[in-house]
Structure 1
């Protein structure tokens, strides 16, 4: 970088209200005085290539010569702008020969200029950029004038042959001077007024046309948006049995396939309802989680520029069974002149996205405004101040003693009672995770949180930060629990059998929370569909022949991945991966049949843990599970048990026959009585208003009558009598 210094004496003598008109801001603008080496004019930066100092008769000038097609030949200067200078004129003589533009229209001969402020940030608007695309065979004078933008203290000045194919640019008598800003201000104001009037006229015409279309057709999109004159070809449109619709098809993995249409809006539209039909087939998501089939939406102002703030893009990540109807509603900014609708296969690996019968109609904004206000209030209420670790408040480290959990120091028994705070297994940001932890521990009197997480998010799959933000959310969850003297069970929320990628997760997570007294490791959410031998020691897990219960909660890609056969390292290897880090933390290990059956543990398939604080065996129990004595209580007589998931809903689950499920009204009191009778550790499912069996009616943490309320009472000390076994 070369900075041209302004000689104070040049301006001091003639400064006035707008600077020093005619006085140069750069020295040696005629390029006559050379540097010590005698090869370049003093005070001017030399290009890295393609620059020379030429002589014709008694005249000296700078020559920029293209060295190769596409090369950037540029002089880079930084020129301080005195505070009193409000307008600048750049004047020069030049000659251009053999100029051929580059591969883009703006690859030509030009003087690029930008303003910088005192912190070297770019200031807008920038100066007008003079550019030349044709030869100027004889020496010719040129000039440009511009106002100095507010806050600008420096002018970046860059004459350049900008990636041209070829050409020579001779430059001489360069003058950069302060000028009277008033004529430029008047001219700019007149130009702006004229442009504003023209823009207003165009906008009024578009709004009138849109209003007429709405009046005539009752819709801002006529005939679904895909009519065309007979025989005329239209991009992405297909005809099928007399029906014309849009078809987007991915023919190259990762490539964006998009349709663009801009719809003008009538005056006074505050909210819109967009409806359409869609059919999706052979869809395979792209490398990132949001690379799917979606409709991108944005607004444009009267100036034609995209506005800040966009409606949420409705998206689909699964195939549909034929045509399905979809819709979305959104508020419209007052300044919006049009809405842009862009159906897209957004960088998918493969797929076909077909759309038809688009409709765009104004709607009453009141409901949307109320929902937006409710969301904003909920977000504000959900915020929890970030806490630093306070080890003076942390709970004691636990270990196994017989079939109980006791403190490492002192041997005092601890009975874990709490809830699952879900959402980090399906959302990288989570849904009120931290707020729920605080409410669950402080208001519901729990002393443990089970936190389901996902290894893909932990390692940052499909994320630009390699999972750092996700891990920080988990870190803060640990801190919030620990600072309240409570525990957190870190649940790897996966199914079926351990996989190699799960070993990598536990090696990383166990090292991160090694010997943290509040953290307990739940190695795998719900094993199922394998033998006890494979469960413990590993082996080949065959391709699944039928759907599993978890398919109701998985994406199409996850279901396919979960179905395939694979070599499992087994649960002992998972435990060994934790202990290899040196972490002694308690581990939770779920049995078979979706972590319900623990009879295999009684029969000799328990894990070995010679280096840690011991194993808690997990049982997930719901109203359709029978055989409590065989599958749960026999193991509970020998080992500590965590009912890692337990609960019932007034509305029975749809992924299994309703007649298999006991009514919550009879089941809930008996399961709570069982828990209390045998002092079983438990984390209720689920402290979320949308994850059934739900404990919450809403994000005000109002308990559901059939499950949330009794569970809350049990955690607060209410006794439930032991009922009959199932």
Structure 2
């Protein structure tokens, strides 16, 4: 299992039971899965004549430069947030668009690798940035869009702003590229989410002796978050109009605060889309997303279910995918929510594919692939 998903699932247990969650920002465990994922092709050159039209927010929808609505439906590809080499993300991008008919790819990336700060990187991140760029070209050259998801947790950090400054300058006004500031915020207030503030973290083994200054003690106890609004402002100061995606609280399941005074301000860009993540143990679809969906475009950046139940969650709260998947796809289609299925990967659960031949899994991959090809699903039961 993707180690980052492990931390997500642990925290979701806490969300359900009220217990304290394990921190999600711990370093991932080593990648111990067999490395039989496909080899990425040689980098393809950018072909701007093939790129899609620029998007902007219009009410609660996305429209292109001709004013026509664009409904983003696609696949979420992990790997580049786990190891700098990724797991064949460029190849998966091509297969996802050409064979699964996705018109958007959500690419999980990591600011640390972008700057070459992993011990395995000796080139300052040059190869990693080239790999991300290849994925961008692979999507854009096929007329599709790509979301760059900084796959981090808890709250925006100052180092994320450094990352987004560079990414915004590189992909400024690229018509195919959307910016997702942070993957899954959690454990903070809506005030802190938007405006920033001190994020307290409990750490084991912290030396609080008299030899530490007050500043050092505070640093050991947490960090100052600049907040989502400052991240938006900074991206816009680069001149980048690209649509920005902001994830809600509760590991991106809770968007209720957006309609209660916490929406982000974006006077100079193409607008904000709000991200919602939903899995087969979540309840409260209506109260957590529909009020916001009535006013703003929604990006269901992660959605999925697996027949193999998660060991980190109570078994009884994990619904059978064969009953849950048709309803969530019907819900997404009924409200025309933009979405990317998690995950277009053979072991980062819940999986859409059972192997690296991209064979769709029966319970999740088959219906998701059908939905991407236009099959309609009926919503029979809300959760």
Instruction: Name the residue aligned to 1:250.
Output: none
1:164-313 matches, cutoff 5 A: none
Instruction: Name the residue aligned to 1:478.
Output: 136
Is residue 40–residue 89 contact of structure 2 (8 Å, CA) maintained in 1?
Answer: no
Q: Aligned to 1:566, what secondary structure does the other structure show?
A: strand
CA distance in 2, matches of 1:508, 1:665: 43
Instruction: Name the residue aligned to 2:17.
Output: none
Instruction: Name the residue aligned to 2:98.
Output: 442
Instruction: Name the residue aligned to 1:422.
Output: 78
Q: 1:638 aligns with which of 259, 277, 295?
A: 295
1:655 positional shift: 1.9
Distance 1:415 1:564, change over 3 A: farther
CA distance in 2, matches of 1:623, 1:633: 18
1:320-339 matches, cutoff 5 A: none
1:701 positional shift: 0.3
Structure 1: runs of 5+ lacking an equivalent? 1-288, 290-315, 319-325, 327-370, 547-561
Is residue 197–residue 224 contact of structure 2 (8 Å, CA) maintained in 1?
Answer: yes
Is residue 330–residue 377 contact of structure 2 (8 Å, CA) maintained in 1?
Answer: yes
1:383 positional shift: 4.2
* Structure 1: 4+ residue segments shifted above 4 A: none
CA distance in 2, matches of 1:655, 1:458: 31
1:591 aligns with 2:248: yes
1:601 aligns with 2:258: yes
1:512 aligns with 2:170: yes
Spell out, residue by residue over 1:311-356, the C-alpha distance to the aligned partner (whole angstroms, 9 max, x if none).
Answer: xxxxx869xxxxxxx9xxxxxxxxxxxxxxxxxxxxxxxxxxxxxx
Instruction: Name the residue aligned to 1:26.
Output: none
Instruction: Name the residue aligned to 1:42.
Output: none
1:451 aligns with 2:100: no
Instruction: Name the residue aligned to 1:672.
Output: 329
Spell out, residue by residue over 1:297-321, the C-alpha distance to the aligned partner (whole angstroms, 9 max, x if none).
Answer: xxxxxxxxxxxxxxxxxxx869xxx
1:657 positional shift: 1.4
Which gives a bigger RCO, structure 1 or 2 (Cα 8 Å, sep 6+)? 2
1:404 positional shift: 0.1
Structure 2: runs of 5+ lacking an equivalent? 1-26, 205-218
Instruction: Name the residue aligned to 1:716.
Output: 373
Distance 1:592 1:613, change over 3 A: same
CA distance in 2, matches of 1:410, 1:476: 27
CA distance in 2, matches of 1:421, 1:640: 22
CA distance in 2, matches of 1:492, 1:653: 25
CA distance in 2, matches of 1:457, 1:545: 24
Instruction: Name the residue aligned to 2:269.
Output: 612
1:525 aligns with 2:179: no
Spell out, residue by residue over 1:625-648, the C-alpha distance to the aligned partner (whole angstroms, 9 max, x if none).
Answer: 111111011111110000000000
CA distance in 2, matches of 1:393, 1:453: 24
CA distance in 2, matches of 1:514, 1:566: 29
Distance 1:572 1:383, change over 3 A: closer
1:579 positional shift: 0.8
Instruction: Name the residue aligned to 2:54.
Output: 397
Q: Aligned to 1:655, what secondary structure does the other structure show?
A: coil
Q: Aligned to 2:245, what secondary structure does the other structure show?
A: strand
Is residue 203–residue 221 contact of structure 2 (8 Å, CA) maintained in 1?
Answer: no
CA distance in 1, matches of 2:351, 2:248: 23
Instruction: Name the residue aligned to 2:23.
Output: none
1:488 positional shift: 0.2
1:112-191 matches, cutoff 5 A: none
1:694 positional shift: 0.4
1:359-370 matches, cutoff 5 A: none
CA distance in 1, matches of 2:103, 2:220: 37
1:695 aligns with 2:349: no
Spell out, residue by residue over 1:11-55, the C-alpha distance to the aligned partner (whole angstroms, 9 max, x if none).
Answer: xxxxxxxxxxxxxxxxxxxxxxxxxxxxxxxxxxxxxxxxxxxxx
Instruction: Name the residue aligned to 2:18.
Output: none
Instruction: Name the residue aligned to 1:467.
Output: 125
CA distance in 1, matches of 2:134, 2:58: 30
Say which structure is richer in strand: 1
Is residue 343–residue 350 contact of structure 2 (8 Å, CA) maintained in 1?
Answer: yes
CA distance in 2, matches of 1:646, 1:383: 25
Q: 1:660 aligns with which of 317, 322, 332?
A: 317
1:2-41 matches, cutoff 5 A: none
Instruction: Name the residue aligned to 1:537.
Output: 195
Say which structure is richer in helix: 2
CA distance in 1, matches of 2:338, 2:102: 11
> Who wins on radius of gyration, i.e. which is larger?
1
Aligned length: 340
CA distance in 1, matches of 2:88, 2:112: 20
1:563 positional shift: 9.6
1:652 positional shift: 1.5
Distance 1:412 1:383, change over 3 A: same
Distance 1:544 1:406, change over 3 A: farther
1:348-363 matches, cutoff 5 A: none
Q: CA RMSD in A?
A: 2.2
TM norm structure 2 = 0.85
Is residue 76–residue 343 contact of structure 2 (8 Å, CA) maintained in 1?
Answer: yes
CA distance in 2, matches of 1:666, 1:712: 17
1:491 aligns with 2:168: no
1:386 positional shift: 2.7
Q: Aligned to 2:261, what secondary structure does the other structure show?
A: helix
Is residue 62–residue 297 contact of structure 2 (8 Å, CA) maintained in 1?
Answer: yes
CA distance in 2, matches of 1:383, 1:661: 35
CA distance in 2, matches of 1:685, 1:544: 30
